[in-house]
Amino acid sequence: MNSKKYEKICFISVLLILSIFQVVPDLVIADDHKTNQRDYKRYENIKEKYDDDHHNRRQGKKDDEGNETTGQTAAWLLVAANLTIAFSILMKGASRFLPLDPQTKSSFKGLDKLQKKYLMRFHYVLNPVALVIAFFHFLLSSCRSSPLPEWGLIMVTAMVFLGLILKFKLSPKGMRKSVYRLHRTSASFLIMILLIVAGRLIID
């Protein structure tokens, strides 16, 4: 083969190789650029969705704010006022459902009467005070995500008013037995406690 022809072929081959090396990286870079753009857009979409969700959670939390001072005061007053009721329910439940001997049941009954004698006065006084503070707590707080705080306040109001009706004998004689059962039943007390606790967890 002629040396000049061979040099010409080598030169053209080198140019082709250089061209290939020049074009291929550009194609790869362009493809990488497109891929990076897709990944970046995907990242931006995910980040935007996360920011929106985070904002909504913060907004919801902001909407569900409670006044700490009035809430804590009302809660502790309710605990102190109804401690005697909770203790009485426990004593009666133990006497009724546990396999106890008659002497132990009698002791429980006597203990229940004794604690009521000294603690029921706080029950009558502290519950109305707690209701007033709970009402102010409701006015100073906000909860748009659940109606449980409203139901809790309604239940506390109903129980306090029923207790006042029984204490001062404001109901007709024919209704006193029904009012007494409604106010003193364990189910009403437990429902009130559950509504209060659930409402506190949501609003605070």
| pLDDT tens-place string over residues 153-196 | 899 999 999 999 998 989 888 888 899 989 988 888 888 888 88
Dihedral sign for Cα 166, 172, 178, 179, please: negative
Per-residue confidence band for 19, with pLDDT thresholds at 50, 70 and 90? low
pLDDT at position 193 is 86
Per-residue confidence band for 59, with pLDDT thresholds at 50, 70 and 90? very low
Q: What is the pTM of this model?
A: 0.66
Domains of the chain, by residue range, sit at: 1-63, 65-203
Contacts 24+ apart (CB under 8 A), 161-165: 163/123, 163/124, 163/127, 164/128
- Burial classification of residue 17, based on how many CB atoms lie within 10 Å of its CB (0-12 exposed, 13-18 middle, 19 or more buried): exposed
- Burial classification of residue 184, based on how many CB atoms lie within 10 Å of its CB (0-12 exposed, 13-18 middle, 19 or more buried): middle
Digit-coded pLDDT (tens) for 78-115: 999 999 999 999 988 888 888 889 999 999 999 999 99
E-strand ranges in the chain read none
Q: Is 1 or 117 the better-scoring residue by pLDDT?
A: 117
